[in-house]
Each structure stands twice: as structure tokens, then as C-alpha cells.
Amino acid sequence: MKIGILGLPASGKTTIFNSLTRGKADVGGFGATRSANIGVAHVPDERVDILTKMFKSKKTIYAEVQYVDLPGSSSGELFEGEAMAQLQQVDAILHVARAFEDGSVPHLEGTVDYKRDIEKVAFDIMFADIALIERRVDRLTGSLKTMKVADRDEATKNIDTLKRIQADLENGIAIRDRDLEPSEIKAMSDTFTLSSLPLLVALNIGEDDIANTQALEKELDGLLEGRLTGGAAICGSLEAELVGMSEEEETEMRAGLDAGEPGLSRMIKVSYKVLGLNSFLTVGEDETRAWTVKIGALAPKAAAVIHSDIERGFIRAETVAYKDFIEAGTMAEARNRGQFRQEGREYVVQDGDILNFLFSV
């Protein structure tokens, strides 16, 4: 899973990217990020920590989310050059919206107003799509003349469909908010669009607002009514400070602030939910590990995440739900309780399943 970070100049994109990925990219504002920063965040997962201890695993590996901090332009143009090329590779967009007040950091619009900025970026995304679809329609229309008659009908239909989607975008309907009909999916298949991607918002709040986090997130949820959207409030400057600390120092500092669950953890969890992802777990002396699958994935698809050979030679999966395993305390007891199950190809993997695949190649 890969998430592209964008937002207005100096909204704190790189600051939040650094905290998510424990990176050290240059911050500064107004064009400080000239080329994309790419990094990986670990998905915090207490289950992985607990299982590591129980199995005395030598290694602990968390699920990962890749973040790309997109280069911006000082004029606030979001979709030019390298940024656009990077966006074609992402599974979701993360908009960093500035909510912190700081006189020493200028704002493109002169004032801090995250509602306005969230609306503007959502609008810009749709506006970019209108241009992308227009270009596609022009190209298709241009090629009609030289097309075989048999293909022309189909192409004409696709053009009409694209124009309909464009008209809806002009009326403020993002592609992620539509139920695409099969004909629409087909017409769109060669057209890259941005408003079809899930849209996440990280509200970059000031330190004064940390105590207000819950109320702000509630408000943010109200602003993000559309489908495939979600958000969290993060205090960029605090998180940036914490990245440099040891784990003990960090825990102590967070406890002192009464900030609750770190915004970064919530952000990653919201991303998981909006993208429709689950984690399954594998355990053993060598390693305890979390893996990412799409909700609804069948056992062989989950096996493929580990290795294509395991999917190819899939025989069956042995599984116990994390919760059941913890209650039972050992695999043997889970077996006694009938909670250690054998599942076949049609099994739909659940979040928190501890899985072992039997396969032969």
C-alpha cells in the first residue's frame, strides 16, 4: 500500500512524513520539497508485540505502509510534473491540512482556515480530473476518423460515458462517490483519475490544540462525508520532536501531554480502514509478523502475500483468531477448544487471524 502526501505549501507535509516514517527529510516550507521523499511506516499493532513475547520470536515484523511526500510548488499547484507522475502509483491521497497557527510560517492564503483548504484541495482534485478526462475525450474523438467502423461504435459510447462522468465532476461529484456501472468502468479503464482514489486528511494541529483532538477529529469527520474518506488530527511539530527520542522518553512525554493514542497511529489505522485492508498474522520462533490483505481476500490470496509459491501449491490453512488464541493461552488449548481450525480455498481471511499455510510445489 502506497499513500501520496500532498497539500498547500508549508502545511507540514514533510514534517508529518518524517514522523510517520521516522525520516529526516528537509523541512522549511514554500517549495522546500523539490523532489519526492519516499519512506515506510510500520503499522502499530499490539497483537504483534504480544505474540512476539509469547513465541519468543527472534524477529518482529509489522505491516508496512509506504508514504510518498510529493514535491509541491510555491504557488500551491498540486498536480504538476513529478507530483503527478508519483500520484499515478499511489493507492490513496493524504492531504495535510494546516490547522496550526504560527506567525513565523506564512500561509499561501494569508490566514489559517483548514475547512477552506480541505474544500479547495477536494475541488482541485476534481478539477484535475476534469482536465484529464477532457484530454482523453479529445484524443479518442481525434482517433475516431481513422478507426475501423466496428470499433467506432464502442469508442463513441466510451466518449459519451466519459463526458457524463465529467459533467458530474463539474457538479462536484467525485468519482469515488459514484457506483460505477460496468460500462463506466470500461470507459475509464485507460484514464487515470485522482478523485477515484481514497482521500485521507491529516489535520496538522498546533500544540495548544492537542487537548482538543477528539472534538477536532469529530469536526473533521463531518467535513469528510464522502465515501472512501477519513482523517485524523496530528500535531506535526510535537511528533517531529518525539521522533528523535528514545522509546522511554517518548512514552513519558506522551503520558505527560495526556494526548491519548498518538495521531500517527490513528492516521495509519484510518488509512487501513478507508483502503479496506486487514492484517493477518504469522507466528513462530524465527519471526512474528503482520501481513496486509484486502478485506474479503480468500486464503490463497493471503498466501500469495507471503509468496506466490504458497498460493500456487496451496493445500489448506490452519488458523486461530488472535482473540481466541489469547484466551486459550496456547495452541494446544486452542485446539482443545476447537478454535484451531482447518480452512480451505474458500475461506475469507479475517483481521487478526493467526495463519499457517500448508502447501506443496
Give the C-alpha separation, 30 to 33, whole Å.
Answer: 8
- CA distance linking residue 73 with residue 51, whole number of Å: 45
Based on CB atoms, which residue is closest to ligand GTP, 72 or 230?
72
Which does residue 30 bind out of ligand GTP, Mg ion, none, counting CB within 5 to 8 angstroms by kind? ligand GTP
DSSP structural state of residue 348: B
Residue of 234, 237, 243 lying closest to 202 (CA atoms): 234
Partner whose footprint covers residue 106, from ligand GTP, Mg ion, none (CB < 5 to 8 Å by kind) = none
Binds 206: which of Mg ion, ligand GTP, none (CB < 5-8 Å by kind):
ligand GTP
Q: Confirm or reject binding of residue 289 to ligand GTP (CB under 6 A).
A: no
Residue found by looking up cell 457538479 in the block = 171
Is 86 near ligand GTP (CB under 6 A)? Answer: no
Q: Distances in Å between the alpha carbon of 224 and those of 123, 158, 199, 219?
A: 13, 31, 9, 9
Mark out the alpha helices in 207-246 (DSSP H runs): 213-223, 236-243
Q: Which of 1, 84, 105, 253 binds ligand GTP (CB under 6 A)?
A: 105
Is the separation of the CB atoms in 203 and 99 below 8 Å? yes
The nearest distance, CB 121 to ligand GTP, in angstroms, is: 12
Residue showing cell 460515458: 161
Q: Per rule CB under 6 A, is residue 13 in the interface with ligand GTP?
A: yes
CA nearest neighbour of 125 among 163, 78, 89, 162: 78
Residue 206 grid cell: 498546533
User: Given candidates 9, 198, 300, 352, which one binds ligand GTP under the rule CB under 6 A?
Assistant: 9
Position 195 contacts Mg ion (CB under 5 A): no
With binding defined as CB under 5 A, does residue 176 bind Mg ion? no
Cell of 28: 522549511
- CA 305 to chain CA centroid, nearest Å: 18
| 15 lines the binding site for ligand GTP (CB under 6 A) | yes
**Count of residues near Mg ion by CB under 5 A:** 4
237 binds, among ligand GTP, Mg ion, none (CB under 5 to 8 A by kind): ligand GTP
Site for ligand GTP in 192-221 (CB under 6 A): 204, 206
Residue 29, interface with ligand GTP (CB under 6 A)?
yes
Strand order in the sheet with 59-61: 59-61, 287-294, 277-282, 353-359, 314-321, 341-343
13 belongs to the binding site for Mg ion (CB under 5 A): yes
Nearer to ligand GTP, 202 or 354 (CB): 202
Nearer to ligand GTP, 14 or 288 (CB): 14
Q: Which residues bind Mg ion (CB under 5 A)?
A: 13-14, 32-33
Interface residues toward ligand GTP, by CB under 6 A: 7, 9-15, 27-33, 72, 100, 102, 105, 204, 206, 235-237
